[in-house]
Amino acid sequence: MNIWTPMAGNIVSFSDATIKQSGKTVLTNVSIDVPEGSFVFLIGRTGSGKSSLIKTIYGDLELAEGLASVGEFDLTRLKSRQIPSLRRTLGVVFQDFKLLPDRSISDNLKFVLKATGWRDKNEINQRIDAVLEMVGIQINKKKFPFELSGGEQQRIAIARALLNDPKLIIADEPTGNLDPQTSQEIMQLFKSLHQKGMTLLMATHDYQMIVKFPGKIFKCEGGKVFEVVAKT
């Protein structure tokens, strides 16, 4: 029996994969690669399968058929007990921030670190300060999410995604709840993280962003995923 081996240098690989959600086939014949250090956009209309593909990458949906890998993890053989380890190699940023509303900014970040094995208080505080600096925000860490603007909340969410030095950052419509100016600022932040060598996979329906921040583009449409070339 032949054993599929993803091409070296790709942090995400899918080969002839099928993705289902709630028993319904969403995407078929998915064959894509996300090279390490790349900036990849995932575009398509609402309901086209973008979120289902992303959920499969971080282990929220089981791969239905075909072959796929994320970093060192083979999704075709992924066990439930391995999912936390997979997710520790990823940073995920959502449209609605998903910050814990009843905890301060500091406690939101501490919660993630403690849940992933950090114990030393000094190291925890140093890491929190480091990621807040990385996202360019100076803020009273005792504040709660509701006290922050949408842009500030998204920067905190990005800082949270960076805590464990992920190999891949996945952003699912990260500017969907932000005004145009703030969206530009958040995209500049993602661009600066990419320039530092981070791999980013971003789902978006904002085609203006793709023009201004060019990268590799995959489109979900008609139950398929295919690469498109941006017009210049």
> What is d(CA 170, CA 78) in angstroms, rounded to the nearest whole number?
19
**Regarding predicted confidence, which is higher, 116 or 162?**
162
> What is d(CA 11, CA 168) in angstroms, rounded to the nearest whole number?
8
pLDDT, mean of residues 87-94: 92
Sign for the CA dihedral angle at 139, 144, 146, 150 comes to positive
> Taking the domains of the chain in order of start, what are their residue ranges?
101-165
Q: How many residues does the chain have?
A: 232
The model's confidence at residue 213, banded by pLDDT at 50, 70 and 90, is: confident
In 36-178 the beta strands, taken as DSSP E runs, fall at 39-43, 65-70, 73-74, 90-94, 168-172
pLDDT at position 1 is 35
Structure tokens at 115: 């849940």
> What is d(CA 58, CA 70) in angstroms, rounded to the nearest whole number?
8
pLDDT at 6 over 70: no
127 contacts: CB under 8 Å, gap ≥ 6: 113, 118, 163
Number of helices (H) and strands (E), helices first, in the chain?
A: 7, 10
| pLDDT tens, position by position, 17-62 | 999 999 999 999 999 999 999 999 999 988 899 999 999 999 999 9
Q: What percent of the chain has pLDDT over 70?
A: 96
175 contacts: CB under 8 Å, gap ≥ 6: 154, 182, 183, 186, 187, 204, 206, 209
The model's confidence at residue 106, banded by pLDDT at 50, 70 and 90, is: very high
Q: For tokens 């703030």, name the residue.
A: 182
Q: For tokens 């080969």, name the residue.
A: 15
pLDDT, mean of residues 130-147: 93
Sign for the CA dihedral angle at 32, 26, 206, 230 comes to positive
Q: To 10 degrees, the CA torsion angle through 165, 88, 187, 223?
A: 150
pLDDT at position 206 is 78
pLDDT at 232 over 60: no
Q: What average pLDDT does the chain have?
A: 91
pLDDT at position 9 is 87
Q: For tokens 């190291």, name the residue.
A: 123
pLDDT at position 63 is 94
pLDDT at position 2 is 42
85 contacts: CB under 8 Å, gap ≥ 6: 73
pLDDT, mean of residues 5-12: 80
Q: What is the pTM of this model?
A: 0.89
